[in-house]
Every structure is written in structure tokens, then in C-alpha cells.
């Protein structure tokens, strides 16, 4: 297979997003648009990826180099069009020999299955393989004019198209693949003799055709090539992504009680036979095994839910939560960086942070792992079969041994031995008749003030 590289254009200012966050760092499915495009080209085997950023896009450049390493960015300064942006990557690719795909960081739904056919066209003999699509509204898009054999003859901008050309449904999406040396040769010949005085990437197609080279187009679905320039478009992309995820999980055998209310991340893993109820949110990093049930209004992030476990309703699993087989994490229970053993239960109103809960242990309502002293985090470990009484505060670092009990309302600050009972409460005192005297005194005081 011919070596592959990618140039991802991310130099736009994104002013229409009206956000302090750079456009391509907004997220779809819990992953930035830039990362999603990097995922796509790397999945297709691109061994080198160059992200073209603007001079003012330091945050985008930092994100790209954090992902790809130093030297993975090229700066377009000043911005003079798409062909000029690709030329900015020339030096970064000077030692590369093979095919280069040009794509855009703000096309979050473009996947390997959409972009891969361009490489296939190259392998079949096309000198340039370009992406096209048939939009519902083609008013503003350049038309792709093809010959009798399907070869691309030219791209005509909408404002320059004749009535016959405007009737053409196939439009230019902007992505293309070509040999590096040939590509930069054509780019060097692109001029800026147009209304905007910019260098357009689409001119490369005309130059190649003029040289007698073969240009072929692959037509992708409109959703795959949609750009996200505004919050409304970003929301539309998110909706499409979520619908795809819902359809995928249903097809794979996951029971979604109300699919339209469940939100997934790009990397959510759910095995067939699991059940997800209404209004559940999966943030990144979640894996759910078969027969697990995620009940309504739960939020999961960076967590593992093992076979047959029951989560929620109204549960929150934070990063590092590892819920064992047949374990129960109930309503208004929060778990963070805790391994919960097989069959253990924390059924309501509990915070478990940093530590472990052994198999078969029972965590009573109102239990708190007191894991933070304002500076550092400490661990709490509850042994197998232990019973933590309701409203117990376990002050870390502390260990409750296997089979041990803690009395309800206790504040446990020392380790508890296996099979022991630990109780820490102040002595209860009772004053007979105090409540009746208190009420009488209060009522008399109100009466004296003339109030009820």
C-alpha cells in the first residue's frame, strides 16, 4: 500500500461560533472535532499528520501537538485561502513520499468509511480523488461537472455556474487525495485572480485536468461532510451522532427503553444484553457488560460496570469507578475511583471516593468516604462481607476488615478488625419533660408579643 499522510485544515477563526473556545476544539460525542478528524485519518493509516493552524490559534496548535507530538503543526499567516493553507504544510511533508489526504477539522461526522474510498480511487489510477456530495440545498456549493465516463472535468463555483450547471446535483465537499509531489506542484501554480484575491484549493482540479490527469470523485452522504461553523450546526452534528449511536446499540442487542433520551460518547462500550433506561448520560470512557442495568437519570464517566450490576436510578459514576458483577449502586450514590466487589450494595444516599468495597459488603444509607483533607486524597477500604451502618463517616485513611460492622451514626477514624463491631457515638442523655416545657415557654413568649 502506498504510504499515506494527512493535512488537516484548522486555521479558520470560527467567529460564527461566538465562543472563547476555538471552533475545532468544540466537542461532538464528547470528543473535540479536531481529535475526531485525527482519529479518522489515523484509522486510515496516515503515518504523518500535519494540522494547519492560524497565527492566532495557539490553543489549537497546542492541542494538535499534545496529540501528535512536536512539529505536527504548520502556521498559515496570513490567511489567503485553502490552497495557501495546504501550502503551509509543504515543509512539514518535505521528506514524505506517498499520498496526501486534505481534509477539514470542522467536519466531525466524516469517518474512515467516508474518506477511505478516496484512497481506493487513487489505487485504481486516479491522479486526484476528490470528495463530492449531493446536498438538500445546493445553492451555495460549487458544482462537480463530470464526463460520460464519470471523470471530473471541472468544478464550477455557484456564482459562476450556468443554468445547466446549476441543475447538477453533485457538489464539491473539499476533501481530496493526491500524490504529495504532484499536489504541491499544482498548488504552486494556483493564482489568486478572483474577487477575494485568495488561493483556492479547487483550482488544483482544473490544473490537473488541464495537464491531462485523471480526476475522480466519490460521493459521500451530506451528513458526513457537513461543517460546523455555528452552535446550531454543532447541535445538528451532535444530534446525528447520537442517532447513529442509538441505532448501533439497538442493532447490537442493547435494550434502550427510550433511545431518544440517552446520550452516548464517542467511545461508549455496551455489551449485548445490557439495559439502559431513560435519560442516562454516558460521558467518555464507559464500558458496560452484559445483563447490567443502568436505571433512569444516571450519569457515567470513566467507569466500568460489570455483568449483572444494577446502577441507579439517579446514580453518578465518576472516573475510576469499577462496579463488580451483580453489585448495586442505587439512587443518589456517587462513586469515584473505587472498586466495588461482586454483589456489594450501596443502595442510597452515599459517597464512595478513593478505595475499595469488598465482595458482598453492604454500605448503609448516608455513608461517606471522607477522602480529602483540603490538600491530599486518602483511601478507604471496606472488606468482604462488611456491614457499614447508616450515616457512617469513614475518615480516610482507614480500613474496615472483612465481616466487620460499624454502628449507625459512627465516625470511624481507626482501622476496624475483621468481624469486629466499631461504634463511635457521644453518650445519649435524656431530660424527662424537657420538650413539653420548651414548647410551653415558646408559646407563652409569642402570646406576650401578641403573635401566633
C-alpha grid cell, residue 96: 514524505
User: Annotated catalytic residue: which of 26, 84, 328, 348?
Assistant: 348
Under 8 Å between Cβ of 183 and 94 = no
How buried is residue 269: exposed, middle or buried, by Cβ count under 10 Å (0-12/13-18/19+)?
middle
Please give the full DSSP string across 257-318, using - where no structure is assigned: SSGGG-B--TT-EE-TT-EE-TT-EE-SS-EE-TT-EE-TT-EE-S-EE-TT-EE-SS-EE-
Whether 26 is catalytic is no
Instruction: Look at residues 79, 76, 99, 84 and name the one whose alpha carbon lies nearest to residue 1.
Output: 99
Q: Rounded to whole angstroms, how far apart are CA atoms 143 and 165?
A: 7
DSSP three-state, residue 84: helix
Q: Rounded to whole angstroms, how far apart are CA atoms 225 and 12?
A: 17
Q: Rounded to whole angstroms, how far apart are CA atoms 345 and 290?
A: 19
Under 8 Å between Cβ of 78 and 85 = no
DSSP three-state, residue 348: strand
Q: Which residues are catalytic?
A: 348
Amino acid at each position: 500500500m502506498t504510504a499515506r499522510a494527512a493535512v488537516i485544515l484548522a486555521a479558520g477563526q470560527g467567529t460564527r461560533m461566538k465562543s472563547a473556545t476555538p471552533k475545532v476544539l468544540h466537542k461532538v460525542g464528547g470528543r473535540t472535532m479536531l481529535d475526531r478528524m485525527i482519529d479518522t485519518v489515523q484509522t486510515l493509516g496516515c503515518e504523518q499528520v500535519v494540522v494547519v493552524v492560524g497565527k492566532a490559534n495557539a490553543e489549537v496548535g497546542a492541542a494538535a501537538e499534545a496529540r501528535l507530538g512536536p512539529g505536527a503543526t504548520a502556521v498559515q499567516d496570513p490567511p489567503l485561502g485553502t490552497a495557501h493553507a495546504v501550502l503551509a504544510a509543504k515543509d512539514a511533508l518535505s521528506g514524505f513520499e506517498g499520498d496526501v489526504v486534505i481534509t477539514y477539522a470542522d467536519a466531525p461526522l466524516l469517518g474512515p468509511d467516508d474518506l477511505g474510498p478516496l484512497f481506493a480511487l487513487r489505487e485504481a489510477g486516479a491522479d486526484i480523488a476528490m470528495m463530492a456530495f449531493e446536498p438538500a440545498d445546493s445553492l451555495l456549493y460549487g458544482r462537480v461537472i463530470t464526463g460520460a465516463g464519470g471523470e471530473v472535468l471541472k468544478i464550477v463555483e455557484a456564482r459562476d455556474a450556468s443554468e445547466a450547471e446549476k441543475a447538477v446535483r453533485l457538489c464539491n465537499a473539499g476533501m481530496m487525495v493526491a500524490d504529495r509531489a504532484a499536489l504541491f506542484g499544482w498548488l504552486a501554480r494556483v493564482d489568486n485572480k478572483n474577487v477575494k484575491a485568495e488561493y483556492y484549493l479547487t483550482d488544483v482540479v482544473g490544473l490537473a485536468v488541464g495537464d491531462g490527469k485523471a480526476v475522480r470523485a466519490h460521493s459521500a452522504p451530506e451528513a458526513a461532510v457537513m461543517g460546523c461553523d455555528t452552535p446550531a450546526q454543532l447541535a445538528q452534528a451532535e444530534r446525528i451522532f447520537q442517532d447513529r449511536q442509538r441505532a448501533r446499540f439497538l442493532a447490537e442487542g442493547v435494550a434502550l427503553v427510550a433511545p431518544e433520551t440517552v446520550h452516548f460518547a464517542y467511545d461508549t462500550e455496551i455489551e449485548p444484553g445490557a439495559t439502559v433506561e431513560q435519560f442516562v448520560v454516558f460521558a467518555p470512557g464507559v464500558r458496560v457488560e452484559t445483563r447490567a442495568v443502568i436505571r433512569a437519570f444516571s450519569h457515567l464517566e470513566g467507569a466500568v460496570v460489570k455483568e449483572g450490576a444494577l446502577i441507579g436510578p439517579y446514580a453518578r459514576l465518576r472516573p475510576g469507578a469499577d462496579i463488580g458483577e451483580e453489585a448495586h449502586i442505587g439512587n443518589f450514590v456517587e462513586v469515584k475511583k473505587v472498586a466495588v466487589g461482586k454483589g456489594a450494595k450501596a443502595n442510597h444516599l452515599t459517597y464512595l471516593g478513593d478505595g475499595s468495597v469488598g465482595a458482598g459488603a453492604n454500605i448503609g444509607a448516608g455513608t461517606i468516604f471522607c477522602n480529602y483533607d483540603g490538600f491530599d486524597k486518602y483511601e478507604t477500604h471496606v472488606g468482604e462481607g462488611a456491614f457499614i451502618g447508616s450515616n457512617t463517616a469513614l475518615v480516610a485513611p482507614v480500613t474496615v476488615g472483612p465481616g466487620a460492622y460499624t454502628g449507625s451514626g459512627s465516625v470511624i477514624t481507626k482501622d476496624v478488625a475483621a468481624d469486629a463491631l466499631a461504634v463511635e457515638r457521644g453518650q445519649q442523655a435524656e431530660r424527662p419533660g424537657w420538650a413539653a416545657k420548651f414548647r410551653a415557654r415558646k408559646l407563652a413568649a409569642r402570646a406576650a408579643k401578641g403573635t401566633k
